[in-house]
Chain A
Amino acid sequence: MTTVIHAEDVGIEFFTSRKRHMSIRELLFSRGATHTPGKFWAFRNVTFDVQQGEAVGIVGPNGTGKSTLLKIIAGVMLPDEGHVEVTQGVAPLIELTGGFKGELTARDNIFLTAGLHGLRREDVEERFDEIVDFAGPQVKRALDTPFRHFSSGMKVRLGFAVITTLDEPIILVDEVLAVGDRAFRNQCYARMEALLAEGRTLFLVSHSEKDLSRFCTRGLYLTGGRLVLDGPIKDTLECYAMDIERKA
């Protein structure tokens, strides 16, 4: 077993609501993380290792930094303390349609977005049909129209299709399964299961208990700025449910 994600004492600090303006001077010259009023730690001291092929779900109430943790693993946010080492490539299903440009046709967008994620032109050509088939007949018909004319569902389908054809061994998923119609959701499930069967590592943020227990074997329970529990997904979900009942 090889460790593909190693997080050690990770913490990240945010500004409270309105008071976001720390002066540039302060940002430039402060040494490391200092405790200034108007800031709070989303979480601290989060430590865990993920082995290759594991399927991990992050559980917890809103605003506990689940998505933030995923972004730190994806490398699109940097922790204020501690460090994260990711030793394999990552396919982030986070801002699915972020790479698409409305002015360009869907065809151009597929090539460009896949290119941005490191796929060579020949690779994209080879997988082009697969991507389009997955995105569905509606998208296929509209391949040469500007992307901005697409419905939001079509946009997400295409985004999902492109990102999941990347060869990256680690897949990060943030709530994207909640969009799309039922047929597409089933298609997504099938694709995810196929990827897992290939031995990819999965990191999933979701509020759907069904999705979590379907895909994940291990759960991280994040609440109150701490990693409270790291164990089998069943235990994590139970612990989370018990916490909610206690508060109610």
Chain B
Amino acid sequence: MTATRVSSTGPTGRVAAVWQHRSIVRTLVVRDLRVRYARSWLGYLWTVLDPLLMSLIYFFVFTQIFHRSDVGHKPYFLFLVVGLLSWQFFTQSITDGATSLLADSKLVRSTSLPREVWVVRVVASKLVEYVYSLPVLVLFVAIYVARGDTHVNARIVLFPLGVALQIVMLVGFGLLLAPVTALVTDMQRVIRILLRMLFYATPVIYSPARVPKGFRVVIESNPMAGVLELQRAGLFKEPILWRSVVLGVAFSLVILGLGTWVFVRLERAVLKEI
């Protein structure tokens, strides 16, 4: 931290400042993972167990009780696993990102790091967990390919782009929500409810093509829909809904811009409050 510190810098200066401290972000991520695995020996299992069990439940509900195997792409279980792993990355980043300044307030108060670091660090930690969970996805893809139920196509190259889009969006949401949550106590509850509603407004457990025309605009303008389109494209033969992707990209960039602006405006007040 020998860098010169001046009170206020422009947006580019702030990005550069976070980049300068990337090794510290790495330290924090390592610490997060250590804490997570020091507390429970099931540590790694938990990150994959939750989405897998949920996949199993939805699979059971839709195919065994409602007898509808056409809700999503086929094979439906694989469709669910892709969606729920990604959704877990999304919700956990949002809930932890929102409390990123509060949860480590002692650290925020005692180090002069650029405050954006705390948000980026949460998304980075969750990203690592998400990446750790991908072998499970690969395993299921291998099983379904071996059984001849699906084929991996060239659009698989879109998968990392989907993850990149998700990262941009999550950093944006984190920057937006972290200072607001630090100032307004009720925010955490509001976020919890909104996330639950958003889950059903996102094509995680159903295919966007199944949505009636009148509601399609809701789905398409949901940024996670675009992310899921990109992540699923290589594993299923259904066409990509490019409208969702374009809108998702636009939305993510707007969120990132808005988040940065709000973060800078509220930073002062937050530092006095925590």
With a cutoff of 8 Å between Cβ atoms, the chain B residues found around residue A24 in the complex are: 180, 183-184, 266
Closest approach, in angstroms, between the C-beta of B154 and any C-beta of chain A?
Answer: 42
**Interchain CA distance A90-B101 in the complex, whole Å:** 21
From 1 to 53 in chain B, residues with beta carbon under 8 angstroms from any chain A beta carbon are: 1-8, 23-24, 27-28, 30-31, 34-35, 38-39
The binding surface of chain A is classed by DSSP as loop
With a cutoff of 8 Å between Cβ atoms, the chain B residues found around residue A97 in the complex are: 106
**Interchain CA distance A149-B192 in the complex, whole Å:** 34
Once A24-B184, A84-B7 are accepted as A-B contacts, the answer to whether A108 and B107 lie under 8 Å apart by CB is: no
Closest approach, in angstroms, between the C-beta of A248 and any C-beta of chain B?
Answer: 32
**Interchain CA distance A99-B23 in the complex, whole Å:** 16
Once A78-B271, A103-B39, A117-B1 are accepted as A-B contacts, the answer to whether A95 and B110 lie under 8 Å apart by CB is: yes
In the complex, the answer to whether B5 meets A75 with C-beta atoms within 8 Å is yes
Closest approach, in angstroms, between the C-beta of A128 and any C-beta of chain B?
Answer: 16
Query: Top 10 closest A-B pairs, CB basis?
Result: A75-B112, A98-B106, A95-B110, A98-B110, A115-B27, A118-B1, A89-B2, A83-B7, A78-B268, A89-B1
Once A75-B112, A90-B1, A115-B27 are accepted as A-B contacts, the answer to whether A104 and B38 lie under 8 Å apart by CB is: yes
In the complex, the answer to whether A99 meets B107 with C-beta atoms within 8 Å is yes
- Interface size class on chain A is 35 or more
With a cutoff of 8 Å between Cβ atoms, the chain B residues found around residue A88 in the complex are: 2
- Per-position 1/0 for A91-125, Cβ under 8 A of B: 01011111101011000100010011110000000
- Interface size class on chain B is 35 or more
Q: Which one of B2, B23, B24 has the greatest number of beta carbons of chain A within 10 Å?
A: B2
From 253 to 274 in chain B, residues with beta carbon under 8 angstroms from any chain A beta carbon are: 262, 265-269, 271-273
Once A78-B7, A92-B112, A95-B109 are accepted as A-B contacts, the answer to whether A116 and B271 lie under 8 Å apart by CB is: no
With a cutoff of 8 Å between Cβ atoms, the chain B residues found around residue A20 in the complex are: 273
Once A85-B6, A103-B35 are accepted as A-B contacts, the answer to whether A76 and B268 lie under 8 Å apart by CB is: no
The verdict on A194 contacting chain B, using a C-beta distance below 8 Å, is no
In the complex, the answer to whether B269 meets A22 with C-beta atoms within 8 Å is yes
Once A28-B262, A118-B24 are accepted as A-B contacts, the answer to whether A94 and B34 lie under 8 Å apart by CB is: no
With a cutoff of 8 Å between Cβ atoms, the chain B residues found around residue A71 in the complex are: 109
The verdict on B168 contacting chain A, using a C-beta distance below 8 Å, is no
**Interchain CA distance A118-B1 in the complex, whole Å:** 6
In the complex, the answer to whether A27 meets B269 with C-beta atoms within 8 Å is yes
In the complex, the answer to whether A98 meets B107 with C-beta atoms within 8 Å is yes
Q: A83-B6, A95-B109, A99-B111 are known; give 9 further A-B pairs, CB within 8 A.
A: A20-B273, A76-B111, A80-B268, A85-B4, A86-B5, A92-B112, A98-B106, A98-B107, A118-B2
Closest approach, in angstroms, between the C-beta of A226 and any C-beta of chain B?
Answer: 20
The verdict on B71 contacting chain A, using a C-beta distance below 8 Å, is no
The verdict on A79 contacting chain B, using a C-beta distance below 8 Å, is yes
With a cutoff of 8 Å between Cβ atoms, the chain A residues found around residue B112 in the complex are: 74-76, 90, 92
Closest approach, in angstroms, between the C-beta of B186 and any C-beta of chain A?
Answer: 11
